Chains A and B, each alone.
Chain A
């Protein structure tokens, strides 16, 4: 069974631009969560989507948004990028019935 895939793997953007990251969950997984990992703040929860609905959101500004499609694939968008948005963005998928979450390889975003 294929794991969680994230595209792109690496991205360099300029301050003020916007970016869209994509996550394809494991087949059959309907819950997708996003996390930001930085050296200073560690791993922080961004949001979770289930059946195309956001059902939990972390403490991030409105510049961070996401969505989930009917095939459970998810995208997150960051508008008006700031230097502090440079991070590893990780996506995780899970079954509703199981507690385990499986992570993708991440997208490393660098904002210059």
Chain B
């Protein structure tokens, strides 16, 4: 069965520094996708970045990059040059291709960026 593990309930980072949020996953499927979402206090889930299991290069989207290590089943999110507006909950999620669009989420990491 699919499982996403986020072991960091909370993380603190100073503005302009980089931070890594950890995510490990478990699946028996060969074809799957990994996602990171940001959830501010307003509640809306904001899509950040996607990595397909067959993608050879790590995904990047602006200040976000996904450190994908397939053998270790990890998909860590790296946020470079943190901003105050990055303070939010961050969720790692996985979709198995056979599950259509069903996402399985981790428990989330609360990131607090301080001035």
Interface of A is mostly: strand
Would B33 and A104 count as touching, CB distance under 8 A?
Answer: no
Say which size band chain A's interface belongs to.
20 to 34
Would B103 and A45 count as touching, CB distance under 8 A?
Answer: yes
Residues in A57-92 with C-beta less than 8 Å from chain B: 58, 88, 90, 92
Would A105 and B42 count as touching, CB distance under 8 A?
Answer: yes
Would B47 and A100 count as touching, CB distance under 8 A?
Answer: yes
Would B37 and A103 count as touching, CB distance under 8 A?
Answer: yes
Task: Mark contacts of B27-47 with chain A using CB atoms, 8 A cut-off: 1 yes-contact digit, 0 otherwise.
Answer: 000000101010000111111
Which of B43, B44, B99, B103 contacts A101, CB < 8 Å? Answer: B103
Which of B43, B95, B100, B108 contacts A42, CB < 8 Å? Answer: B108
Would B91 and A99 count as touching, CB distance under 8 A?
Answer: no
- A96 and B44 alpha carbons, distance in the complex (Å): 22
With contacts A31-B100, A42-B105 taken as known, whether A104 is within 8 angstroms of B44 at the C-beta atoms is yes
Residues in B4-19 with C-beta less than 8 Å from chain A: none
Can you list 9 A-B pairs with a CB-CB distance of less than 8 A?
A: A31-B100, A31-B101, A42-B106, A43-B93, A48-B102, A90-B43, A92-B103, A99-B52, A108-B43
Instruction: Apart from A101-B103, A103-B44, list 11 A-B contacts with CB within 8 A.
Output: A33-B102, A33-B103, A45-B102, A48-B101, A48-B102, A50-B100, A56-B99, A92-B103, A101-B47, A102-B47, A106-B43
